[in-house]
Amino acid sequence: MRKCLLGSLLLTLLVTAQQGHAAPLSTRFATNVGSGPVRALATHADRLLVGAAGSLYVVDVSGASPSVLGQVALGAEVTALQVEGSTAYAGTLTQGGAELYAVGLGAPAAPTVLGSVELGVDVSALTTSGTTLYVGVAAPGGEDPANGLRVVSIANPASLSVVRQGLPNTRIYGLNVLGSHLLGATNSITQDASILQVWDISTPSNPSRILGTSDGRAIRGYYVEVIGQNAVLGQYHGAEDREVGVFDLSGLPAARAAAHVGLGARSFAGHATGSYLFAGLEALSPTNLEIIDVSDAATTVRLEGYAAGTRGRVTALRVLGTTAYLGFQDSSTNLVAVDVSKYLGADAVAPTVSLVPPEGGAPLSGRVDVRAVASDNLRVTRVEFSVAGTVFATARTQSVSSPFNV
């Protein structure tokens, strides 16, 4: 964040703004990797892993155009990816065989299947904690499975084994880890209408569910990202209500629905980095990439949208460096890269702040309202009034007024 000071003998104004760069959002490239839709993306070092149709691709994205370094066939559509060390874990749709694979990435030109395990369900989400892999699943055809969570030991990638199952009759669409807690985004559980599940994973192989919650409205969560102590979900609760929901988890095992931001379409894919959520939408409405600022949960705000590509829904999203990579359902152009250095690059634009002079230049005395106006190319997050180093007023708006004794 950048700071700007304006001072006099008595009064100092401090404005704090969201970090950003002057360059606008722009498309780096739009291409096709393999065939079919891209439903899973991950990163390994400075490379992008792309799950397209029935294969996993290792893609060099360091240049002006992407280059496929290697690939490995997995037999069914890749629907989830997670990287741990030099191994990628890939989940697929049900195929009458293995649905979870460990793929060695030691040689990018020749990724190799190290091990696999049959689950009998569609894999929809993956995340890890140490040598434990958490797998979110749905029954074939997208129905509720007998158990939505599978716990897999990855101590030996060549010998994957399911050690536990849980969360009956519930589909898990997204998983993430916050400290010693596992977070899951699900369809709502009938008995408590919850879309956000939280497990204690102090013992990683034996997760204990401690919380199921919602904002009282949403019926489905599609993914869960972590920003600070907040869980950020792409969520849905009706044809006209598509949004990003923010849950404050700083008081676990209690949770608080802190904010929600409306979207033009459902968000099936998102990735958080820094204080931003980059959310991909199912359609151009009129944009399909939304940038959400979650630097302060209670005042979560949409900053802007961008039209990436020309058609198809965003089904996967991953940020690497200052580029957001979007996977699409449309198989003719299934991967689009968007330069988001405006938000993740070096901050080249300082905020500004000015005092609003008294009307007609009249002298001031006694108790008066001090007014200031701050601006930034992204977002003003805080304005402070102080005297001799002591703050006497704080606001989170661009235009602010506070009483002061002259």
pLDDT tens profile 91-105: 999 888 889 999 999
Q: If you average pLDDT over every residue of the chain, what do you get?
A: 86
Residue 379: the pLDDT is 61
Query: What are residue 122's DSSP bridge partners?
Result: 138
Interval 323-378: pLDDT, tens = 999 999 986 799 999 999 999 976 556 677 766 666 655 565 666 666 777 766 66
Domain boundaries, the chain: 2-17+361-405, 26-344
Each residue's pLDDT tens digit, 191-215: 566 899 999 999 999 999 999 988 7
pLDDT at 325: 98
Name the token pair of 260.
């929600």
Residue 2: its pLDDT value, please?
A: 43
For the chain, how many helices (H) and strands (E)?
1, 35
- Top-ranked range on mean pLDDT: pick from 139-143, 216-220, 282-286, 401-405: 282-286
Model's pTM, two decimal places? 0.83
When pLDDT is cut at 50, 70 and 90, the band that residue 3 belongs to is very low
The CATH number given to 26-344 is 2.130.10.10
Q: What percent of the chain has pLDDT over 70?
A: 80
* Least-confidence region, from 8-22, 165-179, 319-333: 8-22
176: helix, strand or coil: strand
Calpha distance 83→105 (Å, rounded): 9
pLDDT band at 14 (very low <50, low <70, confident <90, very high): low
* pLDDT top residue among 380 and 265: 265
pLDDT band at 223 (very low <50, low <70, confident <90, very high): very high
- Please tell me whether residue 342 adopts helix, strand or coil conformation: helix
126 CB-side CA count, 13 A: 27
The sign of the dihedral angle between the CA atoms of 247, 251, 254, 256 is negative
The residue whose two tokens read 């004794």 is 405
Structure-model confidence comparison of residues 334 and 398, the more confident one? 334
pLDDT > 90: what percent of the chain?
A: 65
With a cut of 70, say whether residue 27 has pLDDT above it: yes
> Does 405 score more than 70 pLDDT?
no
**Which neighbouring-strand residues pair with 12?**
7, 386
For residue 127, what pLDDT is reported? 98
> Of 142-156, 214-228, 243-257, 359-373, which range is least confident?
359-373
Can you tell me whether residue 192 is helix, strand or coil?
A: coil
Six-digit token string for 198: 């939280």
Q: What pLDDT was estimated at residue 216?
A: 77
Residue 104 to residue 368: CA distance in whole angstroms: 68
pLDDT at 5 over 50: no
Instruction: Report the pLDDT averaged over residues 297-315.
Output: 91
Nearest alpha-carbon partner for 263 in 322, 222, 323, 310:
222
> pLDDT band for position 157 (50/70/90)?
very high
Token pair 């969560």 is found at 221
Tens of pLDDT, residues 279-293: 999 998 899 999 999
What is the average per-residue pLDDT within 61-70? 94
